[in-house]
Structure 1
Amino acid sequence: MERTILRPVIAGIVTAVVGFASSFTVVLAGLRAVGADSRQAASGLLALCVAVGVTTIVLSVRHRMPITAAWSTPGAALLLSTGPVDGGYAAAIGAFLVCGLAIMVTGLFPALGRLIARIPQPIAGAMLAGILLKLCLAPVAAVAQVPLMAIPVIVIWALLYRFARMWAVPGALAAAVVAIVVTELSMPSLTFDAAPVVAPAVPAFTGAAMVGIALPLFLVTMASQNVPGMAVLSGYGYRPPFGEVLLTTGAGTAAGAFLGGHAINLAAISAALAAGPDAHEDPARRWVASLTSGISMVVLGLGSGLAVALVLLAPPVLIEAVAGLALLGALAASITAAFRAGVESAAVTFVVTASGVSFFGVGSAFWGLLAGGAFHLLMNYKDSFRSTRVTESA
């Protein structure tokens, strides 16, 4: 009996720990890339943890379902690939806020959600693959630059991926921590504040940030997180009201933006840890797992300052390597979605997005989506025109 009671609690703690440890390095790297300093990055991580935790608690208790929120890991990778925008970090904050409001509007008007779902899957997958590619190349670069630190991390990740996949990234992170501690013992003069950091920011609104960050962040979060997250829940027999879920996660995103949080959404991969039979044999009791996950995520957020201190101690390429290992699965899935049908428009989207170029201060993700979409319309127009001619001649 006691084991049955503890089972969803343990599952919830594992869900939070795996979700946090597997991608907090991506979040910190993304925030630093768009101009956040160490304190602002720590504040952003704390804001995300609290927003994720509170949203998960509210949705779980209200609907008695294992509804788990998470931060947008692909969105953080987008920030890393985009880099600084006109207006600096304040403009990025403004983009985060607009993204949250856009998610809320989508929840109010279901037609918008259906419109986003009409984006061809190959193009959406190719855009995400192009965003993730550079970061997923980081483990190779780390082996070349810091082999004594990187090789053990990769070996441990590979072994755990084979025998205990859920713990592969946390294990790689633990190996990186050991390597950092051993290597950086000669730096006793480095000081840091491990206490939670709250650094409010005043948002600014620029056209470049709206087009280069807000729009692609919104699309990536919806297409690669919220929609798959609902699919995971449906697969386990849960059907929460999608509009209310979007309103809640959008509100959490907008609130967290003022402290540096970029976006939260339905969990996709980690959702299965709380919604599956391993959490509890009774589906009606699995919401306890997501509730525990939400509480645990808030507690983990209190360690955001320590997480930033760890990143500051490490060679940047090593942190990016751990983040890249965490995203390899997402890269594989997005490439499969993009090219399973051999769609040329997906190739156009991928190449432009992966190029990393920016025009008029707008990053490559937007231009990749635009180029791929335009090519897709061109190809469909030609096919439609030919079909019409054949019908007329008949």
Structure 2
Amino acid sequence: MNTEQLKQEIIDYSKEIGIDKIGFASADVFGELKERLKRQQSLKYQSGFEKGSVEERTEPQRLLPEAQSILSIAIAYPTRMENAPKGTKEDRRGIFARASWGIDYHVVLRDRLEKLSAFIQEKVPDVQNKVMVDTGELSDRAVAERAGIGFSGKNTAIITPEFGSFVYLGELITNIPFVPDEPVEDSCGDCTKCLDACPTGALVQGGQLNAQRCIAFLTQTKDFLPDEFRTKIGNRVYGCDTCQVVCPRNKKIDFHIHPEFEPENEIAKPKLKPMLRISNREFKETYGHIAGSWRGKKPLQRNALIALAHFRDETAVEEIIAVLTNDPRPVIRGTAAWALGKIGTEKAYEAIKSAMEKEQDEQVLYEMEKGLDFEKELSLK
């Protein structure tokens, strides 16, 4: 088998099926990453969404015993929305991060990688391949960095020379010994714009992220959002793009190459009030095809309540009261009580006081007290 010729055939085919960039890496142990992950664990910086042990995430042979190479792919996604809808005082809007615009990228990248795997199998019938996209054990970024897709920026994103950091990543482990590509030189230099701009200080230092403070992670949690972050998420209902948007390497980057990733404006920037009353069926029909739906509607509804509080949207008081009164989920009732207090109308405070008389859940009662504390603060001014 001529691996150099096969490599070129794979590169050519990857372009035919809509892969914007492909790189080849060795399947050696990711030693530096292993130490970094252990450090992350000891500092409790992990999100909890990571799959597999540290060893599985850094030793490709644990996933494919005969692994010799890893193919890394990158697909660009858009950063700007045409005719983006604007919120009004009567209809405030939230925002999904760009990585959740269009069809769920896991689906799209897996399709591309499966086609790539099938192509290789046609050429080498006894090949062993394993495909992974984001939810696999390997670190997409570590593989992409080793494969020369881009360098790992201080914002922990892979920054490509062509598409900036607005790319989705996936990989294919194989037992074919390809000649690896050269890594891309790090060019962050002295720039610290992403560290300076992070709303919660989640970027502890260049290239190190405390996921527990990252808004992108926090918007996906299902419990009560810690108080210190409620004023930080603004109108984000899913994800955060700040550290990418401020990056000089992303200036003027906006690629509309793949129709699958074009934003549906009313979904990417949804009206907040309708999100509060959406049924499970409506949620699945409206949002089920996007990446931001993977945790279900609960985190998004909690974030929508916080966003309405951020806007101090008095037009939403009636609907938030309905949530406070009728929703069976403590996190949603409690967040509704806090939001009403933050909005701060007389009717909102009366609703909290009335609901307190029937509420049994200790955490919800605590949130109600916090909501009423806003009234006390106003009376002291």
Shared fold (TM-score greater than 0.5)?
no
Structure with higher helix content: 1
Work out which structure has the larger RCO, using CA pairs closer than 8 Å and 6 or more positions apart in sequence.
1
- In the superposition, the TM-score normalised over structure 2's length comes to 0.25
- In the superposition, the TM-score normalised over structure 1's length comes to 0.24
Structure with higher strand content: 2
